[in-house]
């Protein structure tokens, strides 16, 4: 685990509340706006940042994140520029962990070794690569762990007790529990089912378990955060960005501010989550 | 000691992780992994189950119409003045292409696995029609994802799928072609993983699909090999097939891979030429990458973003290729060449006039390569070509291009 990730979860434990993990697409709708959004996230209450790497064929994503990726690519975003976003962010923030999330092919084409070196240098703390299951660990997971970058695995409702040890074996940083079988942006399932699943995973690992897919409001964040160590919000943020753009898809006057407002609301949700749990 | 020995056979792959050399693999979301492992287990059992094989054989004979004929194209041979040209007539199968061979096999597996819903992607619509057909025959609901562009240019097949009771969902993302349809099918699958069987139409995707689809299609090559021995007393000098994802090609190639004297040629869609982006020649003009569950040759830019291809033939309009083809290319066992849209169109017309066979635009690419090679070969040499589909679905596209006013 990198020092930043370690420290962040340790201090959250002291505070007695779950993490708010915010996803946005690097380069959406353009590099500078997206850097502005990234810089605004910690102040608005984000504890960990998931930095999306755009890909032309995002097979596990719903329409909102697909469109965000298309906007970013249209704006000229590349993997090198997404690393540059992190580097620029790190100039003013050396505490907030950054996890890059996306698909394998752009990394494979960039070159695994070079990518890991550049990611480390840019201040990246972890990777979530949707299309690299444990069976493919030699590709990127093992090399990343050797360099000291977390490889955060997705566990899903189809990950039964028999498979869970396989999924957890080389996982580090935290476990990302996908709350349902489906693509990003679907409806949130019953929170009680989720807390059961979180308990099940916690029976197999000491790592923090964070939950995503379907969390859109402060109420959701509060309900999910009662059981989980972290709540991941992605589609709601990406949709907020989309809604703030001008007619021709350029950043609007309120793009950064409106994302910050949304995140502040979500942050209030996770900050009162354990109060709900205690009731 | 640690050196990998040269394989004794080109037909032994993939390894247990689904690799053909560096190609293949299982690059899928975790949600799908348990299912893919189940599928692999079920496929292993079915492969060795005499009852499964018997049912497959029975349906092959009585439902598909196997064996398909091996046909000596006498007039085409005379016209080209070189090698003898034989067609493996997969276009005479029920539903009009080789696609049904795979669909019958996979729907039997879906039944064994207790799945209650079938999804499929389609480009030209041949696989969609074949999927809708077996879904009707086995009484399972079927959803077919098809790029919006393809829905338009393959209207007759869309109508056929609907008649067969399938729901056809046009996909508008990207350029609205096969790649986008496959993305959408994967999204459906990941959402409905418990109930749904994804009937992939080509020898690509995560392991075990490339191996499984190949094995279901290898009946083409196995029959052709026997038929050729019966007709000519020897094997062909060359086997030629068109390659999009590559299922008809791997089907006819595979049984010949260990026959050293048989040259293997795969024909990619050269579209409007390889200089720009308007082609689908993944091997000739692409590079290895990871998409749709496997590592293989892809059309992509320097950032690893997948490009949209172009081909006159919707069935070849895919920016990737089955992983086994990538491997066969790299080890030099098969050669892959491009054929341009206009060459395929000329071949289409030539066969129609000379042999009274209207080929689909996909095998018209293979035919164009035959037309190039046969005159340079001796009259005692033999070319075997997979005539993988019939052209009824393409007559409107061709008529429009030829300005025939339909």
Q: Is A56 on the interface with B (CB under 8 A)?
A: yes
Q: Percent of chain A, pLDDT > 70?
A: 97
Contact at 8 Å (CB) between A267 and A45?
A: yes
Alpha-carbon span A120 to A83, nearest angstrom: 10
The two structure tokens encoding residue A5: 């990730």
Contact at 8 Å (CB) between A6 and A60?
A: no
Alpha-carbon span B294 to B13, nearest angstrom: 15
User: Hey, are the CB atoms on A158 and B35 less than 8 Å from each other?
Assistant: yes
Q: Which residues contact B57 (CB under 8 A, 6 or more apart)?
A: none
The two structure tokens encoding residue B196: 């749904």
Q: List the domain boundaries for chain A.
A: 3-278
Q: Is A183 on the interface with B (CB under 8 A)?
A: yes
The 3-class secondary structure across B31-77, one letter per residue, is HHHHHHHHHHHHHHHHHCCHHHHHHHHHHHHHHHCCCCCEEECHHHH
Question: Which of these ranges, A222-231, B55-64, B204-213, has the smallest mean pLDDT?
Answer: A222-231
User: Hey, are the CB atoms on B30 and A73 less than 8 Å from each other?
Assistant: no
User: Hey, are the CB atoms on B27 and A132 less than 8 Å from each other?
Assistant: yes
Contact at 8 Å (CB) between B279 and B307?
A: no
ipTM of the complex: 0.95
Q: Which residues contact A93 (CB under 8 A, 6 or more apart)?
A: A39, A42
User: Hey, are the CB atoms on A73 and B191 less than 8 Å from each other?
Assistant: no
Of the two residues A189 and B89, the one the predictor is more confident about is B89
Q: Which residues 88-117 on chain A approach chain B with CB closer than 8 angstroms?
A: 103-110
Range among A221-225, A270-274, B327-331 rated most confident: B327-331
Please identify which of the residues A28, A47, A50, A125 carries the catalytic annotation: A50
Q: What local confidence, expressed as pLDDT, does residue A278 receive?
A: 54
Total residues found in chain B within this entry: 406
User: Hey, are the CB atoms on A133 and B29 less than 8 Å from each other?
Assistant: yes
| Closest Cβ–Cβ partner in A57, A58, A183 for B179 | A57
Greatest Cα-to-Cα distance within chain A, rounded to the nearest angstrom: 51
| Closest Cβ–Cβ partner in A57, A61, A154 for B30 | A154
Identify the CATH number of the domain defined by range A3-278.
Answer: 3.20.20.70
Confidence band for B156, pLDDT divided at 50, 70 and 90: confident
Q: Is A153 on the interface with B (CB under 8 A)?
A: yes
The two structure tokens encoding residue A33: 């706006």
Q: What local confidence, expressed as pLDDT, does residue A142 receive?
A: 98
Tens digit of pLDDT for each residue in A151-175?
999 999 989 999 999 999 999 999 9
Residues B230, B235, B237, B238: is their CA dihedral positive or negative? positive
Q: Is the pLDDT of residue B5 over 60?
A: no
The two structure tokens encoding residue A131: 């299309």
Q: Which residues contact A70 (CB under 8 A, 6 or more apart)?
A: A54
The structure tokens 């061979």 sit at B101
Could you give the 3-state DSSP secondary structure of residue A205? coil
Phi, psi of A257 (to 5 degrees): -65, -40
Shortest Cα–Cα distance, B232 to chain A (Å): 47
Q: Which residues contact A204 (CB under 8 A, 6 or more apart)?
A: A161, A164, A165, A168
| pTM as predicted | 0.95
User: Hey, are the CB atoms on A158 and B305 less than 8 Å from each other?
Assistant: no
Contact at 8 Å (CB) between B46 and B108?
A: yes
Alpha-carbon span A12 to A15, nearest angstrom: 5
DSSP letter, residue B6:
P
**Residue among B272, B319, B322 nearest B13 (CA):** B322
Contact at 8 Å (CB) between A224 and A215?
A: yes
Shortest Cα–Cα distance, A156 to chain B (Å): 6
Shortest Cα–Cα distance, B3 to chain A (Å): 20
A54 contacts in B (CB within 8 Å)?
305
User: Hey, are the CB atoms on A59 and B27 less than 8 Å from each other?
Assistant: no
Residue of A nearest to B24 (CA): A136
Q: Is the pLDDT of residue B1 over 60?
A: no
Please identify which of the residues B131, B282, B326, B388 carries the catalytic annotation: B388
Contact at 8 Å (CB) between B59 and A162?
A: no
The two structure tokens encoding residue A125: 């703390």
| Closest Cβ–Cβ partner in A109, A133, A157 for B289 | A109
Tens digit of pLDDT for each residue in A104-151?
999 999 999 999 999 999 999 999 999 999 999 999 999 999 999 999
Total residues found in chain A within this entry: 279
**In the predicted model, what is the mean pLDDT of residues A237-253?**
95
The two structure tokens encoding residue A210: 């964070």
A61 carries an active-site annotation: yes
User: Hey, are the CB atoms on A182 and B191 less than 8 Å from each other?
Assistant: yes
Tens digit of pLDDT for each residue in B243-273?
999 999 999 999 999 999 999 999 999 999 9
The structure tokens 């040269």 sit at B6
**Residue among B260, B249, B271, B203 nearest B366 (CA):** B249
User: Hey, are the CB atoms on A163 and B34 less than 8 Å from each other?
Assistant: yes
CA distances to A13, A20, A279 from A276, in Å: 17, 16, 5
First to last CA, chain B: 67
Domains, chain B: 19-61+99-212 (3.40.50.1100), 65-97+219-401 (3.40.50.1100)
Alpha-carbon span B351 to B341, nearest angstrom: 16
B272 carries an active-site annotation: no
**In the predicted model, what is the mean pLDDT of residues A187-213?**
90
Burial class (CB in 10 A: 0-12, 13-18, 19+), B94: middle
Question: Which of these ranges, A105-119, B8-22, B83-97, B167-181, has the smallest mean pLDDT?
Answer: B167-181
A153 contacts in B (CB within 8 Å)?
30
Burial B238-251 (b: 16+ CB within 10 A, else e): bbbbbbbbbbbbbb
Which residue out of A25, A27, A57, A62 would a mutagenesis test of the B interface target, given it has the greatest number of B Cβ atoms within 10 Å? A57
Residue of B nearest to A79 (CA): B303
Q: What local confidence, expressed as pLDDT, does residue A1 receive?
A: 53
Alpha-carbon span B282 to B149, nearest angstrom: 21
Which residue out of B17, B27, B178, B289 would a mutagenesis test of the A interface target, given it has the greatest number of A Cβ atoms within 10 Å? B27
Alpha-carbon span B190 to B184, nearest angstrom: 10
**In the predicted model, what is the mean pLDDT of residues B19-46?**
95
Q: What local confidence, expressed as pLDDT, does residue A90 receive?
A: 98
Could you give the 3-state DSSP secondary structure of residue A172? coil
User: Hey, are the CB atoms on B187 and A130 less than 8 Å from each other?
Assistant: no
Q: Which residues 1-40 on chain B approach chain A with CB closer than 8 angstroms?
A: 17, 25-35
Q: Is A62 on the interface with B (CB under 8 A)?
A: yes
**In the predicted model, what is the mean pLDDT of residues A193-201?**
92
**Residue among B394, B32, B240, B335 nearest A136 (CA):** B32
B28 contacts in A (CB within 8 Å)?
131, 133
Prior bond to B67 cis, omega within 30?
yes
A167: Cα within 13 Å, side-chain hemisphere? 30
Q: What local confidence, expressed as pLDDT, does residue A276 receive?
A: 57
Q: What local confidence, expressed as pLDDT, does residue B2 receive?
A: 47
Q: Which residues contact B288 (CB under 8 A, 6 or more apart)?
A: B22, B23, B295, B296, B297, B298, B326
Q: In what order do the strands lie in the sheet with B287-291?
A: B19-20, B23-27, B293-298, B287-291
Please identify which of the residues A30, A47, A61, A84 carries the catalytic annotation: A61
**Residue among B359, B303, B374, B299 nearest B96 (CA):** B359
Tens digit of pLDDT for each residue in A39-75?
999 999 999 999 999 999 999 998 899 999 999 999 9
A50 carries an active-site annotation: yes
| Closest Cβ–Cβ partner in A56, A153, A178 for B306 | A56
Alpha-carbon span A54 to A69, nearest angstrom: 5
Q: What is the mean pLDDT of chain B?
A: 95
Residue of B nearest to A104 (CA): B290
């Amino acid at each position: 685990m990198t020092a930043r990730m370690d420290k962040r979860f340790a201090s959250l434990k002291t505070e007695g509340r779950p993490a708010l993990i915010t996803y946005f697409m690097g380069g959406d709708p353009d590099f500078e706006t997206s850097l502005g959004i990234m810089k605004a996230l910690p102040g608005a209450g984000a504890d960990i940042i998931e930095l999306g790497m755009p890909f032309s064929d995002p097979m596990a994503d719903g329409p909102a994140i697909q469109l965000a990726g298309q906007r970013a690519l249209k704006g000229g975003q590349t993997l090198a520029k997404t690393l540059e976003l992190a580097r620029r962010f790190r100039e003013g923030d050396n505490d907030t962990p950054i996890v890059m999330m996306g698909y394998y092919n752009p990394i494979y084409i960039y070159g695994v070794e070079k990518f890991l070196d550049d990611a480390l240098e840019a201040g990246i703390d972890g990777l979530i690569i949707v299309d690299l299951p444990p069976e493919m660990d030699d590709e990127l997971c093992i090399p990343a762990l050797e360099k000291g970058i977390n490889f955060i695995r997705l566990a899903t409702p189809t990950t039964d007790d028999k498979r869970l040890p396989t999924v957890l074996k080389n996982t580090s940083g935290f476990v990302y529990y996908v709350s349902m079988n489906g693509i990003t942006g679907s409806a949130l399932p019953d929170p009680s089912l989720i807390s059961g699943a979180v308990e099940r995973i916690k029976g197999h690992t000491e790592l923090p378990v964070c939950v995503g897919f379907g969390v859109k409001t402060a109420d959701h964040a509060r309900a999910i955060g009662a059981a989980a160590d972290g709540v991941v919000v992605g589609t709601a943020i990406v949709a907020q960005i989309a809604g703030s753009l001008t007619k021709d898809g350029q950043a609007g006057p309120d793009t950064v501010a409106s994302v910050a407002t949304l995140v502040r609301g979500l942050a209030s949700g996770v900050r009162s989550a354990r109060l709900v749990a205690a009731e | 000691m640690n050196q990998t020995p040269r394989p004794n056979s080109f037909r032994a792959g993939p390894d247990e992780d689904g690799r053909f050399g560096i190609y293949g693999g299982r690059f899928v979301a975790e949600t799908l992994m348990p299912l893919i492992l189940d599928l692999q287990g079920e496929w292993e059992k079915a492969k060795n189950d005499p009852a499964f094989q018997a049912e497959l054989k029975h349906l092959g004979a009585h439902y598909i119409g196997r064996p398909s004929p091996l046909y000596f194209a006498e007039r085409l041979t005379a016209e080209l003045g070189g090698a003898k040209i034989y067609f493996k007539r997969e276009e005479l199968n029920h539903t009009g292409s080789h696609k049904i061979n795979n669909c019958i096999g996979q729907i039997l597996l879906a039944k064994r696995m207790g799945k209650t819903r079938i999804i499929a992607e389609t480009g030209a619509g041949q696989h969609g029609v074949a999927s809708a057909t077996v879904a009707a025959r086995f009484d399972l609901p079927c959803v077919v994802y098809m790029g919006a562009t393809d829905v338009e240019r393959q209207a007759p097949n869309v109508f056929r799928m609907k008649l067969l009771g399938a729901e056809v969902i046009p996909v508008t993302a990207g350029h609205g072609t096969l790649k986008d349809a496959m993305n959408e099918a994967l999204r459906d699958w990941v959402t409905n993983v418990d109930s749904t069987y994804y009937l992939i139409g080509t020898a690509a995707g995560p392991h075990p699909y490339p191996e499984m689809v190949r094995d279901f299609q290898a009946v083409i090559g196995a029959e052709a090999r026997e038929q050729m021995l019966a007709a000519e007393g020897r094997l062909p000098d060359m086997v030629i097939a068109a390659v999009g994802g590559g299922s008809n090609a791997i089907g006819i190639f595979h049984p010949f891979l260990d026959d050293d004297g048989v040259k293997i040629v795969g024909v990619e869609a050269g579209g409007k030429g390889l200089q720009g982006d308007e082609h689908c020649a993944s091997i000739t003009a692409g590079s290895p990458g990871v998409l749709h569950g496997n590592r293989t040759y892809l059309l992509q830019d320097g950032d690893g973003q997948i490009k949209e291809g172009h081909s006159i033939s919707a069935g070849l309009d895919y920016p990737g290729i089955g992983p086994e083809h990538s491997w066969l290319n790299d080890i030099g066992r098969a050669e892959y060449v491009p054929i341009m849209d206009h060459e395929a169109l000329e071949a289409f017309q030539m066969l129609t006039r000379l042999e009274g066979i209207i080929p689909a635009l996909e095998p018209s690419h293979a035919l164009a390569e035959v037309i190039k090679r046969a005159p340079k070969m001796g009259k005692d040499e033999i070319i075997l070509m997979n005539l993988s589909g019939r052209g009824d679905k393409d007559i409107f596209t061709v008529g429009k291009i030829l300005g025939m006013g339909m």
